[in-house]
Structure 1
Amino acid sequence: MVDKACVFCEIIRGEHPAHVVLDAPEAMAFLDTRPLFKGHTLLVPREHHETLIDLPEEQVGPFFVQARRLAAVMESELGAAGSFVAANNRISQSVPHLHVHVVPRNPKDGLKGFFWPRHKYESDEEAAKFAATLRAALG
C-alpha cells in the first residue's frame, strides 16, 4: 500500500531526499528535518499505514524491533544517556504515515512536558554525518 502524495512514501521510493539511517525490509528510518536533538530519527513502515492502529498485527513486532535497535544506538553511538520513543496517532501527527520518533536524551536536556525546543543541524553535511554514524552502527 502506497500513498503517492505522502512525503514519507516519497522518501521510501527515493523520490524525496532524506538522511537515511536504516533501510530494512519492513521499515526505513531517517533523520527528522526538525530534530529535538541531533540524531532524532523517524522510523516508518515501508507500507503506507496512517497510524499504529492501522499497522497489521503481524508487522508490529518486526517494526518495533527496529525501534529498539535505534534506541540502542542513540546510547552506544551518540553517547546519549537514554532515549525517547513515541508515536502520535492522528492528533499532532504532522505526516499521516505512521512514524515513531526515536530521540537521544540526556539529563537536564531541556525537554519539559511537551514544550520542546528544536535543535537544527548546522548544515546538511552535519546531518549526513549523524545519519552515517547511526547507519554504520546498525550495520
Structure 2
Amino acid sequence: MTSFIIKAHERRPVPEFWRSDKGCAFCQIILRAAPAYRIYEDDLVVAFLDILPLRPGHTLIVPKAHHSRVSELPENYAAALGVAISKVSLALTKAMDNTALNVVCNQEYAQAVAHVHYHVIPAPKFGSMSTSMGSSDLHAAPVPKELHNREFEVQRIYEDAARLVNVLASSKKQ
C-alpha cells in the first residue's frame, strides 16, 4: 500500500511558489546573508539553532542546496543530512545532559519553510529545575503516559507564550 502511495507522488510537479529560492530564509542563512547561530557545518549541510525554539537546543539541519521535498533529495545530500543529524544529536545530548530528543522532518504538511530541514529537539528534562513542571526531588523515571501528559503541559506553556508575543507584536503596530 505504501509503495502505491509513494509511486503516485513521484516526479509530480513542484508548486510554482516553491521553484525560486531567492526568498528562502534557509538559503539566506546558507549564503550568510541572514544571521544564524551555526552549530555544525560541512560541504553539504549546515545546522543552526531555531529562532523560535520549542525547547532549548532546538536545532535545524538543512542541505546547502535548495530542495523542497525530502523525497526528492539527491542521495549525497540525504547521506550528509544523516551524518549531521547523528553528530548534532550526540552533541545536544551531551550539552543538555539529556539523551531524550525528537528528530522530525516535515514535507509540505506543516513545513513552514519550503527547504528540506530536520528539527532536532531535546525533550523536556523532567525532575530538574530546567522545566516548570517537575520537582527537583523526582527520582523515578516517569512512565510513558506521564511523560506525554507533562509534554502537553509544557506545550501549553509555549502556546501561551506565543499568544503573548503575538498580542505584544500587534499592539506595537497600532
TM normalised by structure 2 equals: 0.61
Amino acid across the alignment from 2:40? L
Question: Do structure 1's residue 11 and structure 2's residue 51 form an aligned pair?
Answer: no
Q: CA deviation at 1:61?
A: 1.5
Sequence identity (%): 31
- Determine the structure 2 residue equivalent to 1:93: 111
Greater C-alpha Rg: 2
Q: Specify every segment of 5 or more residues in structure 2 that has no aligned partner in the other structure, as ranges.
A: 1-19, 127-146, 162-174
C-alpha distance after superposition, 1:46-80 (max 9, x if no partner):
00010211211232122111001111111112212
Q: Deviations over 1:16-35 (max 9, x none)?
A: 11111112111001110111
2:139 is matched with: none
Contact 2:45 2:77 in 1 (8 A): no
Within 2, Cα distance between the matches of 1:78 and 1:21?
14
Q: Which residue of 2 aligns with 1:131?
A: none
1:70 alignment partner in structure 2: 88
In structure 1, the gaps of 5 or more residues are 121-139
CA deviation vs aligned residue, 1:118-138 (integer Å, no higher than 9, x gap): 499xxxxxxxxxxxxxxxxxx
Aligned counterpart in structure 1 of residue 66 of structure 2, from 25, 40, 48: 48
Aligned to 1:123: none
Give the number of equivalent residue pairs. Answer: 118
2:97 & 2:55 partners in 1: Cα distance? 12
Question: Please, what is the CA RMSD of the aligned residues?
Answer: 2.4
In 2, distance between residues paired with 1:3 and 1:116? 34
Over 4 Å off, 4+ runs: none
- Structure 2 CA distance for aligned equivalents of residues 24 and 116 of structure 1: 36
